[in-house]
Amino acid sequence: MGLTNNDIFKKLRVAHKLRDTDIVAICALVDFKVSKSELGAFFRNEEHDKYMDCGDQILRNFLNGLIIHLRGPLPKKGEKPA
């Protein structure tokens, strides 16, 4: 079986050495609100009672925020990149 969204999220978190506060701030860059308790549910073991599947929307918004976090915001039309 392939990787789930939760697996991808966990691997990105470890690879970039991100804490929960970092992830909340990254999601805020794309105006997406996520709480620390929601993040804890995504990173739990699948057997745990409080485990929650990470949906496509959550992962997509995190990835878009991560791009802004790493590269900076996209320049507006007509502006030259810095």
Domain boundaries, the chain: 5-71
pLDDT in tens, the chain (82 residues): 689 999 999 999 999 999 999 999 999 999 999 999 999 999 999 999 999 999 999 999 999 999 999 998 877 777 776 6
Pick the closest to residue 58 from 48, 66, 70, 49 (CA basis): 66
Query: For the chain, give me the number of helices (H) and strands (E)?
Result: 4, 0
HSE on the CB side for 62, CA within 13 Å? Answer: 25
- Amino acid 69: pLDDT: 95
- The three-class DSSP label of residue 66 is helix
Whether 11 contacts 54, CB under 8 Å: no
Whether 56 contacts 21, CB under 8 Å: no
